[in-house]
Amino acid sequence: MTAAIDRLTQAFNHALHHAFGLSWTNAEPLVVAAKNPDHGDYQCNAALGLAKTLKQAPRAIASQLLDHLPPDLGDLCDPPTLAGPGFINLRLHSRYLATELQQRYGDDRLGIAPIAHPQRVVVDFSSPNIAKEMHVGHLRSTIIGDSIARILEFLGHEVLRLNHVGDWGTQFGMLITYLREVHPDALTQADALDLGDLVAFYKKAKQRFDGDPQFQAQARDAVVRLQQGEEDSRQAWQLLCNQSRREFQILYDRLNINLTERGESFYNPFLEAVVTDLKARGLLEEDEGAQCVFLEGFSNREGKPQPLIIQKSNGGYNYATTDLAAVRYRITQDHAQRLIYITDAGQSNHFAQFFQVAQRAGWVPDTVELAHVPFGLVQGEDGKKLKTRSGDTIRLRDLLDEAWLRADSDLYGVVQAQDWTDVASAVFGIDDWETAAAALPGEQPLGDKVHLLQTSLTEALQRQVPGWLQDPATVPPVAQPTLEHLRQTLDQRWSQSHDRQARDFQTILQDSQTIGHSAVKYADLSQNRTSNYVFSYDKMLSLQGNTAPYMLYAYVRVQGISRKGGVDFQHWQDTGATVRLILEEDLELALAKHLLQLETVVQAVAQDLLPNRLCQYLFELSQKFNQFYDRCPILKAEEPQRTSRLLLADLTARTLKLGLSLLGISVLERM
């Protein structure tokens, strides 16, 4: 309700001016939202802050303010009331609320105008490493970054979404050297390996690098040849990068994420200029052969100023050098006025350090903002960092598949009930479970090892089920009979379910995917990003509480009202139907007031970059709508209340749809 706050602020500035003189305008706090709705919607607390300076009692000051308020507030709020030591309580008039909502009804943006002075903003997020699979740690950066970008774009800013992929460095020398030994085709043929194979080879290459000095020297030599642009090395590097990109894009498509890749290698031509400029500005000092900038406010263990290495003693460059080149490029070439970096909180020092260097170098004008947006860890229900049973980091693909599978209880239940052991044995080439289990490390009894092996491999197969159901061509022959039995069982269950008869098998799968992915996104975004949070499939997929399914269900409820009542809301919107809103019941008023707060919330998120504020707003909106729906008859109400409540319900659905879209979440027509 930005317009209401603006009008009230102007009115009280008018009163301050006429009561005490021009110098007293804009006293803080002037108009704030009331903490207790029983007292009204807003409060003016200026009298308390002015009492000491004006040497008057707060109530006397408040009384004078009331006497000097302009007379045109009658259409905005009920007569203001004086309370306590000097609070002025303000309650918005139901006619004003109705008028504001009616004006928003025909507007796709629900009354939120693009900002008057848009900025060019760079949002740097996701940023996985080539030759490594995206894991749960990339989830937060990707989802938070996408939501922030969506909100800024909606408000009219020009947003450049950048994916600062880790596509350069020593790891490529290791990987190329190792693949030349064991799988040379991977360096000359596209798709010779999938990303899973590439990751496995990377781990083995790292082991060789750490334990074999000769291999280490060969890997470093490979990096030099790559940096010098040797054709074979560049071709191999490009093939490896392309393979990873394809796998990353599959996940981005599933999550509906749009990014422009600009990896570390993009900035290689600009690294030398960074060193030259810092040296010319007198910021570089030599420390043990390396070129460094000594930081202000950062100390090492000895209490001495901490150096940020810009160029190593061997002439190589650090991550900080690349980041400095990126900042410089984004300001001078991309003309960014605001640079937003979304990474885990563990990198906060790194960002503070290279931000400082960029500012001391004079590369960051006063009109440009550098912002690091840190986030906490994703934890398991044991409170520890989320990992697989074997202790590995959970792949993002597996996490999304599991959420998809669980999003439909029938699908999840039937898949869990299948006996996948024989299929797992054939798929993984296991002729004898006991022999295979005996090779596992550890001192557990053989029976426990067999159970562990069977469980882990069958769970791995179960995670493949969503993809197999959607694309039967990918099913291994040995799994086809089991999958066909699964399809028949699911078809039978869904055909017997009354509320699903109108939906076919493919729709069920698509809806399950939407719910699963939405649940994962919302569970992350609904947390204050600065905090760690516990990842729980059961909680995030619940129809109760602050979850995506709860929000989606509120939206679906309105669509059900439309179908049941034969009401074409879209026709109302397209034709600009004039519907008079009648707000009489307390629940109607509470819902109306909350609907009008969307603009304030979106603007706040654009400023403080905390998407959980929008999540909390949508959750409270869903709660208020469900209370209204349960206690205020809609289709059974008499006219004109019936039409008025239908419009209020449709505005709620449209607000939910818009708000969720800013979080990267799609709605469903049925659940």
Span 298-343, pLDDT tens digits: 988 888 889 999 998 888 888 999 999 999 999 999 999 999 999 9
Tell me the C-alpha distance between 398 and 136, whole Å. Answer: 9
Lowest model confidence (mean pLDDT) among 46-50, 415-419, 557-561? 415-419
pLDDT in tens, 390-433: 667 788 988 998 898 888 876 777 777 778 888 888 888 888 88
pLDDT in tens, 437-477: 888 888 888 888 888 888 888 888 887 887 787 777 788 88
Closest of 587, 525, 604 to residue 112, by C-alpha: 604
Tell me the C-alpha distance between 317 and 623, whole Å. Answer: 54
- What's the pLDDT at 363? 98
How far, CA to CA in Å, does 360 sit from each of 287, 311, 324, 365, 520?
A: 19, 18, 12, 11, 41
For the beta sheet containing 285-287, the strands, ordered from the edge strand earlier in sequence to the opposite edge, are 285-287, 290-299, 305-311
Average pLDDT estimate for 44-69? 89
More confident position, 487 or 630: 630
For residues 588 and 632, the answer to whether their CB atoms sit within 8 Å is: yes
- What's the pLDDT at 1? 67
More confident position, 362 or 312: 362
Greatest mean pLDDT range, 161-165, 308-312, 432-436, 541-545 = 161-165
End-to-end CA distance of the chain: 32
Lowest model confidence (mean pLDDT) among 85-99, 303-317, 589-603? 303-317
- What's the pLDDT at 473? 79
Q: CA neighbours within 13 Å on the CB side: how many for 622?
A: 25
pLDDT in tens, 335-353: 999 999 999 999 999 999 9
What residues have CB less than 8 Å from 281, skipping those under 6 apart? 360, 361, 362
- Looking at the DSSP bridge assignments, the partners of residue 558 are none
More confident position, 196 or 50: 50
Tell me the C-alpha distance between 506 and 491, whole Å. Answer: 11
Q: What are phi and psi of 460, to 5 degrees?
A: -60, -40
Tell me the C-alpha distance between 284 and 289, whole Å. Answer: 12
How far, CA to CA in Å, does 219 sit from each of 144, 170, 449?
A: 36, 7, 38
Give the β-pairing of 120-124 and 158-163: parallel
Tell me the DSSP string of 331-364: HHTS--SEEEEEEEGGGHHHHHHHHHHHHHTT-S
Tell me the C-alpha distance between 133 and 128, whole Å. Answer: 8
Greatest mean pLDDT range, 197-201, 480-484, 627-631 = 627-631
- What's the pLDDT at 64? 92
Crossing angle of helices 409-417 and 505-525, in 10° steps, is 100
Residue 571: Cβ-neighbour burial (10 angstroms; 0-12, 13-18, 19+): exposed
Residue 192's pLDDT band (cuts 50, 70, 90):
confident
Residue 195's pLDDT band (cuts 50, 70, 90):
low
Tell me the C-alpha distance between 119 and 232, whole Å. Answer: 43
More confident position, 127 or 503: 127
CA 128 to chain centre: 16
Tell me the C-alpha distance between 148 and 658, whole Å. Answer: 14
Closest of 228, 226, 221, 251 to residue 239, by C-alpha: 226
- What's the pLDDT at 284? 96
pLDDT in tens, 126-156: 999 998 889 888 999 999 999 999 999 999 9
Tell me the C-alpha distance between 259 and 342, whole Å. Answer: 14
Tell me the C-alpha distance between 667 and 515, whole Å. Answer: 9
- What's the pLDDT at 164? 97
- What's the pLDDT at 503? 61
- What's the pLDDT at 499? 55
More confident position, 638 or 37: 638
How far, CA to CA in Å, does 352 sit from each of 68, 141, 271, 324, 371?
A: 49, 18, 20, 12, 9
Tell me the DSSP string of 176-234: HHHHHHH-GGGGTSTTSS-HHHHHHHHHHHHHHHHH-HHHHHHHHHHHHHHHTT-HHHH
3-state secondary structure of 130: coil
329-337: which pairs have CB atoms within 8 A and are 24 or more residues apart?
A: 329/267, 329/270, 330/122, 331/363, 331/364, 331/365, 331/368, 332/363, 334/120, 334/122, 334/160, 335/120, 336/120, 336/121, 336/122, 336/160, 336/368, 337/119, 337/120, 337/121, 337/367, 337/368, 337/369
**193 has a pLDDT exceeding 60:** yes
- What's the pLDDT at 528? 96
Domains of the chain and any CATH numbers: 2-92 (3.30.1360.70), 121-163+264-378 (3.40.50.620), 170-258 (no CATH), 405-503 (no CATH), 519-662 (1.10.730.10)
Instruction: Please give the angle made by the CA atoms of 513, 514 and 515, to the nearest 5 degrees.
Output: 90
| pLDDT mean across residues, the chain | 89
- What's the pLDDT at 358? 98
Radius of gyration over alpha carbons of the chain, in Å? Answer: 30
Closest of 579, 555, 598 to residue 645, by C-alpha: 579
For residues 651 and 101, the answer to whether their CB atoms sit within 8 Å is: yes
Question: What's the pTM value of the predicted model, to 2 decimals?
Answer: 0.88
Lowest model confidence (mean pLDDT) among 324-328, 456-460, 521-525, 621-625? 456-460
Residue 496's pLDDT band (cuts 50, 70, 90):
low
Structure tokens at 155: 């408000």
Residue 273's pLDDT band (cuts 50, 70, 90):
very high
Q: CA neighbours within 13 Å on the CB side: how many for 34?
A: 16
For residues 603 and 116, the answer to whether their CB atoms sit within 8 Å is: no
